[in-house]
Chains A and B, each alone.
Chain A
C-alpha cells in the first residue's frame, strides 16, 4: 500500500487570517484537513509570574492585556476578585455602573468577532459598519478613564470618577444608534445565502464534547448548553435584572455567530434597563486602605495623605486566604484564582483564560473539513492571542 501523499502547511504564526500570533501546522490531503497541531506562546508575557511581584492595584493593567477586545471586563473581574477576598460589600450604584461598562465591553467584543467572521467569508462591508459603532464605545471609555484599548478602568473599591453627564448622554446615544446599524449588519449576513452556505455545519461540536473540552461563553451556548456565569453564579447585582441566555443547537460557525448576535441585543436591553434604574449614591465604597483618596484631600488632609502614600508604595497588606472568582468575559468564564499569604502581593495568581482552554478543541473541529472552513471556524471561536498566552 502506498503511503498517502500529504502536504504540510504552516498557517501562521503571522498569517492575516489567524488574527493573532499563533501557528497551526496543518496536514492536508489535497484541500482536506487530516490533522493539525497548534503552537502557541508567541506572546507569552508571564503575567502569572509578574503578578507575584506586584501590589494588587498594579495587576489591573496586566489583566487589560488578556482579552484586549474587552479589557474593562477583565479589569472589573480582577477588582471583584480582590473585593471578594477582602470582603468588601459593594454598593448598588457601583454594581450598576460596572454592569453598564462590562456590557458595553461585551458588545464591542462580539461586534469585532462577528464582523471578522464576515470578513473571513468575503464580506467586508459589515465590518466597516460596526467598527464605527465600536469607535463610539471607545470614546465612552476614553471619557471614563482616559484610555481606549487597554483601559485600566476602575479601582479596587469602585470607580475613579463618576459617570459624567456627557458619558451618560454618549451611552444613550449609542443605545439609540446601534440597533439601526446592527439590523443593517444582520440583513447583510444572517440570511445571506452565501454566508449560510459557508457557515452552517462548519466546525460543529456537540454539547457533550464542548463541555468535556471546557468550553464556556458563546461557544458553549451555541452547542445548546445554557451556562452563563452572570446567571449561574451572579456577581455585581446581575440577578437584579432579567437576562435571557441565547442558545444554539448545532454548535457550528453559524450558531456561534447567531448566539453572539443575540447576545448583543440582550446586552443592549440590559444596559437600557440598568441605566434607567441607576441609583444615586457614591461611585466608590468606603475602603480607605485600598481606594485612593481624592487628590484635594491628599493635599489638605493628613490621613488621606498617609493612605495615599501607603497605597501607592504598596504598603497595604491583604489578609491571607484564597478565593476563586469568575466573570462572564467576552469569550466565556474568565476566572481568577488568587492565593494570598498576607503580604502586599499575591502568593499565586492564576488566570482561567477561556480561549486557552477551548482553543485546544480546534483539531477535532476542523478535521475532515477544508482549509477555507478551518479559517472560518477559527475566527468564529474568537481566539484572542493575548488571552491564549497570558
Chain B
C-alpha cells in the first residue's frame, strides 16, 4: 500500500490545511489539527480503502518551547496491507484536551490514562480518566520536561555535563 492513496482519501475528506503530511521518517506521519483528530482516525479505521483497524500505541510528548507544547502521537496499523501510519496532534498548554478514542478502540482506555498520568493531557469523553501508574494524590505530571529527573541543585548532576 502506497502513501499517496491514503493522503488522497484523507485530503478529499478534510480541508488541506488541517493535515500536514511528512514522508521523511520511517512511517508516513500526519500532523492533524486536534478538532478533526477523532474524525480522521475514524475515517482511517472505517473507510474501506484504508482499514487501519489496529491501534498499535498512543503516547504523549512535550516540546516546552513550541507554540503548542503538548502532543499526542498515535500509531495505527493496517493488518491486511501491513501498513503503519503515525498521527500527531499538538495541544496548547492552557487547554490540553483532545477527544478520546475509547469509542473506536477499547485498547485506547489505558493508553490514554497513561498519557494523562504522565503529561496531564485530558481526553474528553474518556469513561474513567484517572491516574494509572502513579499514585492518585500526585499533583504534577512527571513526564513534562520542566521536571528534571535528578536534583538540579547538585553540582555533579549539572545538566551541561549530561549534554542537555
Known: A345-B163, A350-B57. A49 touches B133 (CB 8 A): no
B3 at the interface (CB under 8 A from A): no
B111 at the interface (CB under 8 A from A): yes
Within 8 A of A (CB), among B64-111: 73, 75, 79, 82, 84, 86, 105-107, 109-111
A389 at the interface (CB under 8 A from B): yes
Residue of B nearest to A53 (CB): B149
A32 at the interface (CB under 8 A from B): no
Within 8 A of B (CB), among A223-261: 225, 227, 232-233
A212 at the interface (CB under 8 A from B): yes
Within the complex, the shortest CB–CB distance from B61 to chain A, in Å, comes to 5
Q: Give the docked Cα–Cα distance between A49 and B146 (Å).
A: 12
Residue of A nearest to B162 (CB): A53
- List A contacts of B53 (CB < 8 A): 211
- List A contacts of B54 (CB < 8 A): 211, 214
Within the complex, the shortest CB–CB distance from B26 to chain A, in Å, comes to 5
- List A contacts of B50 (CB < 8 A): none
How many residues on the B side are at the interface (Cβ–Cβ under 8 A)?
Answer: 38
Q: Give the docked Cα–Cα distance between A161 and B163 (Å).
A: 30
Known: A48-B118, A50-B149, A321-B25. A352 touches B56 (CB 8 A): yes
How many residues on the A side are at the interface (Cβ–Cβ under 8 A)?
Answer: 44
List B residues at the A interface (Cβ < 8 Å).
Answer: 25-27, 29, 53-57, 59, 61-62, 73, 75, 79, 82, 84, 86, 105-107, 109-111, 114, 118, 131-135, 142-143, 149-150, 162-164
**Can you list 14 contacts pairing A with B, beta carbon distance less than 8 Å?**
A40-B133, A44-B134, A49-B142, A211-B53, A211-B54, A214-B55, A214-B106, A314-B162, A337-B57, A350-B73, A356-B114, A360-B106, A360-B107, A360-B110
| Given A212-B105, A360-B106, 9 additional A-B pairs, CB 8 A | A40-B132, A314-B162, A314-B163, A324-B86, A343-B163, A344-B162, A352-B57, A357-B57, A357-B107
